[in-house]
Amino acid sequence: MVSFTLKNAGYEVVEAVDGKDALSKLNGDPIHMVITDLNMPNLDGISLVKNIRSNPAYKFIPIVLLTTESQESKKIEGKQAGATGWIVKPFKPEQLVAVMKKVLG
């Protein structure tokens, strides 16, 4: 749903199957923002944020976490790791697009 929504809104989307795949794709085409789920195989969302923030080239790239309301402690942990913000699931497509516009300007 995330990819479909963003493509329909005119954004170019680079998809990754998990956190490790996302890290490898950061070394490819320029990425202007990362949207990641907290719960992924191989490398979870918090670990992905920490890995991204450890690279000076990506120090200021916006990172938005997808989470559930029941994971309040994880949202705090994500913010401490360097996430820019989060979107609570489930969300409406227009909410996702609004966050993209706000974060990217």
Q: What is the pTM of this model?
A: 0.90
List of domains in the chain: 2-104 (3.40.50.2300)
The pair of structure tokens assigned to 25 is: 């794709």
User: What percent of the chain is modeled with pLDDT above 70?
Assistant: 100
Q: Could you tell me the pLDDT band of residue 70, with boundaries at 50, 70 and 90?
A: confident
Mean pLDDT of 30-51: 93
**pLDDT given at position 43:** 93
Evaluate if residue 69 carries a pLDDT over 80: no
Q: Could you tell me the pLDDT band of residue 75, with boundaries at 50, 70 and 90?
A: confident
Contact 1, 13 (CB under 8 A): no
Mean pLDDT of 50-71: 90
Q: Which residue has the higher pLDDT, 89 or 29?
A: 89
Sequence-distant (≥ 6) Cβ neighbours of residue 17 within 8 angstroms:
none
Residue 22's H or E segment, with its range, is helix 19-26
Instruction: Name the CA dihedral angle for 23, 25, 28, 32, rounded to a multiple of 10 degrees.
Output: -80
